[in-house]
Amino acid sequence: MNSRVIFSSLLVAGLGLSAGGVHAAPDWSKVPVTAIHVFYPGATPFQWIQSKGKHGGSRGLSRGESCAGCHVEGGEINLDLERIAKELEPAGAPKVRSYPVQVQAAYDADLLYVRLRFKAPEGGFDHSDKENVLKATVLFPDAQVPLASQVGCWASCHEDARTMPGAQETKSKYVTAGGYDLMQWSSSGKVSDGRITDQRRMQGGAAGVKAEGSQSADGWTITFSRKLAGQTPIVPGQPVYFGLAIHADHAGGRFHHVSFGHTIGLGGEGDVKASKF
């Protein structure tokens, strides 16, 4: 990322505005912080996590258990990250297998705000996104997405999608039913308000996504807002399912770090407690 882009992002953040148009935000110093770890998943699509011959947790999924329920303990992830990098990744893995993202959420009568803070690692394997040193994505599945409350974003990642081993480049992420609202901020300044259904569309969503981002010595700060209403509506008092994906060091395609599925609580229980303002 060149210095001019960094400067413009910092200036935007300082003014409380952005190219994406975030005009107001909570007092983040008063909003609780939850650390959610993202990790490199290798070539482990939806079909892999459901395979009894490949993934021991498939039995738990069939009983209604969640990925996070099995692999997150005390805020830390419990995974064999070296096995993923060596056995489940035929191309090559980044040097940093996992790192924490500080997540905050707040809401008012119309909007949900999500703030991410993290230090993005260098030493990635893939550098195919020449325009962006970093992309941060948040996905919200609706109730029709298969196993959405259990697997987070995995229902959108299939073995025949682009950048998967042996797959063609013509197929993007998709789901077999329902859909995900998608919001993404890119270091080039692009903001995406999209939707994943039978294919991934980076624009044309109905959530009114706005975003801003900046980088400092402490790392990246990305702030999103979206309407509570959307194709995946957000209802206070009900758990809001979400997942994170971060492409660092110019990574493209599946060479990202991702979270398990988590929840935001708006006036109710959730892994991330949203503050009303």
Q: Is the per-residue pLDDT at 16 higher than 70?
A: no
CATH architecture of the domain 3-276 equals: Sandwich (2.60)
**Concatenated DSSP letters of 88-137:** S-SS---S--EEEEEEEEEE-SSEEEEEEEE------S----SS-SEEEE
Sequential DSSP letters for 45-81: -HHHHT-TTT-TTHHHHHTT--HHHHHEETTEE---H
pTM (2 decimals)?
0.91
Is residue 174 very low, low, confident or very high in pLDDT (cuts 50, 70, 90)? very high
**Which phi and psi (to 5°) does residue 138 adopt?**
-125, 130
> Model confidence over 194-240: pLDDT tens digits?
999 999 999 999 999 999 999 999 999 999 999 999 999 999 999 99
Mean pLDDT (the chain, rounded): 92
Res. 10: pLDDT tops 60: no
| Nearest alpha carbon to residue 232 among 109, 149, 151 | 149
- On the question of pLDDT at 66 being above 80, the answer is yes
Report the C-alpha gap between 253 and 147 in whole angstroms. Answer: 23
Domain boundaries, the chain: 3-276
